[in-house]
DNA sequence: AATGAGTAAATAATGTATGATATCGTTTGA
DNA sequence: TCAAACGATATCATACATTATTTACTCATT
């Protein structure tokens, strides 16, 4: 048997991973609900949604049904779908639960720590620090709100990296769900509260304690950040 | 103004709460997957499911989409729906996560304890103790497996009652999801392991510690029960 | 005039049927 | 032995029919 001179390069049997319309609508709806584009309490009319995302009614229904199981839309038989209302109580619940879940997940991640996990945190933190935040105050009046999606994306990645080593798929899934629910409140009510936060320092403190293996300090730093977010939200609410 | 002698008793505008076909199929599928009637790894063909539950394809797709967000069915675009496979690793993850989540929820429930909550636990435990378990060994060969759904129902209610006072809707939702995922393993692989368990004593121990306000002992008793379940599962698996 | 029951029209969710498109298993040909 | 091609099967999307809810209106009663 002779070696081939031209590498046969088996064409990767990569499934093209085509997306169905239902999945496309699912992601679009999810994004628009989390970003507050679709307002809390708003009724989601099938036909409107279908037209909005250029899809049929059937894919829309499938997307809405998926989201209803993630508590990102409310559903009532024969009455339709709604964007879930927001409330201070709900946000308090989300933050508190997130503190428990991610606190535990961080603790376990540190217990199981590996070099690869630590590297991923360093990297995620570095990338996050190098991603600028565009403040609303610096844009001209009448301009659309600034797009911070790169920062948002890296922020999510950073927090996922912290707890990624906890060893529990289910706990990570819960953390992800809660992160999403929490982000919704940030987008809806606190779009412009970035500036008052020394988030770079906060993140650095979490990273330092985590890499030092100081579980107690790391968890407290993480939870402290979430509780600060809640505090700002409460002030924002009472100030209006 | 005189008081009316015949109470007008405004007829409660109680919505009849009709169930759609999609919801009916959703519950039926959920039950059959948890009970292991639909086997792990099995492909869920839309038409088959539709016929099985006497429904159209559309309601079936909606039900499957809901369940996919609860991890009770796996979904792949253009490839269909599947009953999730089971694995020892997955069950370990479920039990461990359940210990964390319910441990925390029980701790918080005790911290916020009220008389109503304690009463509900007493009652749920009492009802559970008075519900007999029908053992497979005691039925004639060839007979269908015994129906323990009353016990299962009360068992669920008991565990929900323990943590109901934790004050977090989201945590309770997670606990519920995990309970369901865990029950699936019990139904699939341990249908006949009831007898070897002194579950009445185990439950009583949890109740005693809980009502005594002994958080540490209560949580350990609760987690101990789950870990015992895992141990039995591991033995069942290796013994076959 | 204001209130409320009853009723009919409009609206929207739900379900059915059908056609389009992708995947999967098999066969055929080099 | 491998790969391309074909046919069978199933998912997905659209169009349409059905059923429930919501709204608007009428009219009797207070």
Least confident of A1-5, A28-32, B85-89: A1-5
Mean pLDDT of A209-232: 96
CA distance A178 to A194: 20
Nucleotide nearest to A43 (CA to C1'): C12
Residue pLDDT, tens place only, B169-213: 999 999 999 999 999 999 998 766 665 668 899 999 999 999 999
Q: Which fold has domain B13-82?
A: Arc Repressor Mutant, subunit A (1.10.10)
Does residue A68 or residue B14 have the better pLDDT? A68
Residue pLDDT, tens place only, B25-47: 999 999 999 999 999 999 999 99
DSSP assignment letter at A166: G
CA distance B167 to B159: 15
Question: Which residues does residue A75 pair with via DSSP β-bridges, in sequence order?
Answer: A81
Q: Quick one: pLDDT at residue A13? A: 42
Does residue A152 or residue A236 have the better pLDDT? A152
Mean pLDDT of B62-67: 98
Decide if A232 contacts A225 (C-beta within 8 A).
no
Decide: residue B85, CB within 10 A, 0-12 exposed, 13-18 middle, 19+ buried.
Answer: exposed
Query: Is the per-residue pLDDT at A66 higher than 60?
Result: yes
A78 vs B: CB within 8 A: yes
Query: Is the per-residue pLDDT at B115 higher than 50?
Result: yes
Query: Is the per-residue pLDDT at A7 higher than 60?
Result: no
DSSP assignment letter at B214: -
A81 touches strand C (CB under 7 A): yes
Q: Which two tokens stand for residue A120?
A: 């991923």
Domains B13-82 and B88-238 share a fold: no
Decide if A79 contacts A45 (C-beta within 8 A).
no
Question: Which residues does residue A80 pair with via DSSP β-bridges, in sequence order?
Answer: A76
Mutation site, A72, A79, A97, interface B, largest B CB count within 10 A: A97
Decide if A131 contacts A146 (C-beta within 8 A).
no
Q: What are the structural domain ranges in chain B?
A: 13-82, 88-238
Q: Which two tokens stand for residue B61?
A: 């797709």
Q: Residue A93 and residue B67: Cβ atoms within 8 Å?
A: no
A97 vs B: CB within 8 A: yes
Mean pLDDT of A145-169: 94
CA distance B127 to B132: 10
How many Cα atoms sit within 13 Å of B179 on the Cβ side? 16
CA distance A129 to A119: 15
Distance from residue A44 (CA) to nucleotide C9 (C1'), in Å?
23
CA distance B14 to B18: 11
With CA atoms as reference, report the closest residue to B163 among B97, B117, B217, B209. B117
Mutation site, B27, B67, B77, interface A, largest A CB count within 10 A: B77
The CATH superfamily holding the domain A88-238 is GntR ligand-binding domain-like (1.20.120.530)
Average pLDDT over chain B, rounded to whole?
90
């Amino acid at each position: 048997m002779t070696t081939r001179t031209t590498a046969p390069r088996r064409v990767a049997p990569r499934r093209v991973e085509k997306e169905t319309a239902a999945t496309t609508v699912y992601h679009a709806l999810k994004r628009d609900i989390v970003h507050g584009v679709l307002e809390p309490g708003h009724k989601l009319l099938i036909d409107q949604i279908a037209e909005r995302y250029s899809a049929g009614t059937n894919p829309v229904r499938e997307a809405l049904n998926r989201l209803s199981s993630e508590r990102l839309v409310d559903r009532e038989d024969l009455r339709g779908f709604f964007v879930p209302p927001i409330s201070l109580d709900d946000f308090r619940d989300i933050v508190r639960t997130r503190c428990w879940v991610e606190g535990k997940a961080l603790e376990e991640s540190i217990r199981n720590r590996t070099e690869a996990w630590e590297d991923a945190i360093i990297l995620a933190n570095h990338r996050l620090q190098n991603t600028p935040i565009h403040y609303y105050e610096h844009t001209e009046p009448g301009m659309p709100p600034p797009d911070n999606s790169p920062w948002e994306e890296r922020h999510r990645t950073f927090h996922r990296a912290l707890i990624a080593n906890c060893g529990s798929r289910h706990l990570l899934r819960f953390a992800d769900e809660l992160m999403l629910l929490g982000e919704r409140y940030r987008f809806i009510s606190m779009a412009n509260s970035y500036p008052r936060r020394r988030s770079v320092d906060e993140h650095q403190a979490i990273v330092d304690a985590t890499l030092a293996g100081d579980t107690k300090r790391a968890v407290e730093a993480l939870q402290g950040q979430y509780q600060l977010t809640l505090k700002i939200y409460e002030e924002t609410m009472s100030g209006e």
